[in-house]
Chains A and B, each alone.
Chain A
Amino acid sequence: MIDSIINILTTVTPPVDNGTFWLPRAASTVAEEVDFTFDLINWICYFFFAAIVLSMVWFCIKYRRKSPNMVCEGPTHNTALEVTWTVIPLLLVAVIFTVGMKGYLNLRESPEGCYEVQVTGQKWSWTFSHPEFGATQVAELTVPVGKPVRLLMTSNDVLHSLWIPDFRVKMDVVPGRYTSLWFEATKVGDYQLKCTEYCGKDHSKMFAMVHVIPADEFDAVMTKLASEYEDMSVGQLPAYAINRLYNRCVSCHSLDGTTGTGPSFRGLWDRVSSGQVGFSSGETLSSLLGDATLYGEPENYVRESLLFPQKHIVKGYLGSMPSFQGQLKEKQILAIIEMFKHLDEITDEEGNITVNLDGTPTE
């Protein structure tokens, strides 16, 4: 009886794991070892710091100056003492070094048979490709629990660094080469992934969420993810784009009308379809729309902005948008255009997304 009550209580309200005073919750196989090293160093530090400060305070009280002419007869050197306090720290740091090195090798040497994900860092978002399923995620990474995962990473522009604090793993993401890291998540849940190498304006918004899901659900989720937009009707595409693709745009393009690194998406379609967009070259979009002109249909302008963003830069902006050529399938481009057309139906005035992926309203 009591057991079952406890069972119900613990399943209904699982205790929130906030980690310790020093460290966040530990959710990977290597985290425990890192935390052990961290705590070991901490205790050594507590001991030495207490010894230093206590003796300092004690001496300051005991030997405080009582008269300006006090003569001090303390020793000026003591070789045995010097050797002692050289050798003891030396031994201690030798131990710490060894523990840290062993832990590091475990943290770096990926086991056989890792599930592989290709990661691209780009100002200011993360793209995760799952070659096994042909699926791509933006600002979200879904991985199975209890299975080693290896991230093979590169950058499209400047240095980034991928950090998952709860997993205690981190690796720089460098343009022009591949770096890698691996982890094995131990608990189902959502974990923050942050960029921790300064990469410019919106560095602090370069964020992704790691979803750790049960291993037996993983294949189904990924298969669905890989093809979810293929079977969608045009009417379902805005909800898909706002929930799945907008993550890639969020750091520069707001939904509530505020200006960011790029123009806000609010009212964008009205501006584009009516041609009220001025370019830094002095041209306006209206002169490029209509029969026998560059774009013909306004949809072409949006398509070009995604694939060749440097061609026409909107007046007042720096033109720092990267190209999405090769990253977006045609149907996804269509989904983004549909998202613009129906933005008022899928977001509110404050820029909150109001529909789920399946079209139902959010809570």
Chain B
Amino acid sequence: MKTIYAKNSPTDNYLNHTKGIKSWIFTLDHKRIGIMYLICILFAFFLGGSFAMLIRFHLLTPEGAILTQDQYNQAFTLHGAIMVFLVIIPAVPAALGNFVLPIMLGAKDVAFPRLNLFSWWLWVFGLVFFLISLGTGGVDTGWTFYTPYSIDKASSMGGVIPVLIGAFVLGFSSIFTGMNFIVTIHRLRPVGMTWFRMPLFLWATYATAIIQVLATPVIGITLLLLIVERSFGIGIFDPALGGDPVLYQHFFWFYSHPAVYIMILPAMGIVSELIAVHSHRHIFGYKFIAYSSIAIAMFGFLVWGHHMFTSGQSQLVNIIFSFITFSVSIPSAIKVFNWLATLYKGSISLNTPMLYGLSFIFIFGIGGLTGIHCATLNTDIHLHDSYFIVAHFHYVMMGSALIGFIGGIHHWWPKMTGKMYNEAWGRFACILVFVGFNLTFFTQFMLGSRGMPRRYATYDPEFQTYHIVSTIGSTILAIGFFITAIYLIHSIFKGKKAPTNPWGGRSLEWQCASPPPWDNFAEQPEVGDCYDFSVLEWNEEEQGYDWRKDVAHPGE
């Protein structure tokens, strides 16, 4: 009998295969690139989170507690721009996707390793441009860079162009990652890995990659036009020169709405894995979940106009966009129902990754359902540009996408580092994050529907109670993240050694050692049904799962 389960090699793995800083920053290994992305993205997350805390503490009092108006406007701009362009868009595909996707697929690397390294370097340059903007007058346009404010040199601050260049560069980073994944999935699937044997995370990443490749060039062109307009005044967006400021919004959202799915789809893919693996239960409705990812990616291109219901666009256009927007809600609902059905008659382990998976369902439930308020025309007229929208998109982009990401970090942490983190602290921190998040953002629904506009540095005293609760929530949230950082870093040095398969996962990454060897698989792995957990059994000695002795391997 062949051993398809690699045992951990005591000596050689991807972490210690070569040494020195150059062996990392010029590596072509997808796992190392994934880890470098992870470190960088978590750093950017800390940066963006710091701005978020500034905003929250500033809003403790109606007159604004700690910042001037200008500083506040910069804080929310940088919070948004950093979190969107540097954190959430690359988080799951570039960090976890890079690490997991080739192993999950059974490949030795992505299709274009050099392009992959280049993507990471572009990310770093993107960050550098963001930092340059801080030193060249800052930026206060909001992460949306709406014209004509962003092209008016007299009113908006001087650091706009560096941020635009940064976002432009990050766009290419994203395009290259997407291209790489599409080609990898098409060309590098080993024998037996048919489309419908791929884990759902790969389907989600594939759908995401399509959006990355098709939508991101549009924002690239738009940002270039904006740079040219601001620098030379060519009159495409500037109304004083006969341009159309609303045209910019169309260009911007033609990318930035699909970008929402770049953020949420891979997180949904992670959740599909978390729910199935940690309940040891064959995923329910595999094909429906797989196709719903593709459906979301497709419909996502046709709904950008719902960001502009009050922009003055025609009533007919608004009605059409409202109609198509509702169509996106259906595949999202299908996913949620299928996850629930997967829990039914499962063997549910409430460990940290699973708690994040369940938190995702709860939070995405609220984020998705409040999307209905925003898609419906007459209610959105009232809610548009209010805190209700802020709450809604934080529920989707932060509460769902980022919590999926953090759940994924915990799920694959033993694989990435070869170490187990402290489970009790993990659960505790997850509960803090969950409670803190909901306290922070649920109050903002009422703030918005009761009449508080977004991007306000000062506000009416009637709203203060909500803001205080929201700030308390954000503090709990920050403590949760802080604890997470501590026990994860602690585990690298002091954690127990991780077994090959701590959770009992069936996809291929759980068949290669923890941490994986340099070239992932010494021999081509054999692919079976990646959601059939009945072939695994618990090995007490290893504290992990093993292939059952009495079950034949696939391919035998």
| A residues neighboring B (CB under 8 Å) | 19, 21-24, 30, 33-34, 37-38, 41-42, 44-45, 48-49, 52-53, 55-56, 59-60, 63-78, 81-82, 85-86, 89-90, 93-94, 96-97, 99-101, 103-108, 123, 157-159, 161, 163, 165-166, 168-172, 174-177, 179, 192, 194-205, 318-320
Contact = CB atoms under 8 A, between A and B. Distances in A.
A316 to B, nearest CB: 15
B286 A165 contact: no
Interface stretch (B207-215, B358-366, B401-409, B419-427): B358-366
Interface residues of B, number: 96
A65 B280 contact: yes
22 contacts: A34-B382, A38-B373, A63-B344, A65-B348, A65-B349, A74-B344, A76-B285, A100-B377, A104-B381, A161-B310, A161-B385, A168-B382, A170-B310, A174-B311, A174-B312, A175-B240, A176-B240, A196-B384, A196-B385, A197-B146, A199-B149, A203-B456
A159 B142 CA distance: 13
Contacts of A59: 340, 343-344, 346, 348
B491 interface: no
Contact of A198 (B142, B281, B326, B346): B142
B482 interface: no
- Most chain A beta carbons < 10 A, residue from B358, B378, B456, B537: B378
B312 A56 contact: no
Interface string B33-45: 0000000000000
Contacts of B287: 77
A194 B149 contact: no
Contact of A176 (B155, B239, B282, B531): B239
Contacts of A68: 504, 538, 545
Contacts of B329: 89, 93
Interface stretch (B163-171, B175-183, B253-261, B315-323): B315-323
Given A37-B376, A170-B310, A170-B384, A204 B282 contact: no
Interface in B341-394: 341-350, 358, 361-362, 365-366, 369-370, 372-373, 375-382, 384-386
A70 B284 contact: no
B446 interface: yes
A194 B450 contact: no
Contact of A172 (B311, B345, B378): B311
B286 A77 contact: yes
The 6 residue pairs across chains A and B that have the minimum distance between CB atoms: A176-B239, A165-B451, A103-B378, A100-B376, A74-B345, A104-B377
B484 interface: no
Nearest to B460: A192
A41 B459 CA distance: 28
Given A56-B358, A76-B286, A97-B326, A200 B149 contact: yes
A157 B310 contact: no
Nearest to B358: A56
A166 B468 CA distance: 24
A171 B312 CA distance: 7
Given A42-B373, A81-B341, A168-B382, 7 more contacts: A34-B378, A45-B369, A65-B349, A71-B347, A74-B282, A74-B345, A198-B73
A49 B382 CA distance: 23
A320 B156 CA distance: 11
B373 A41 contact: yes
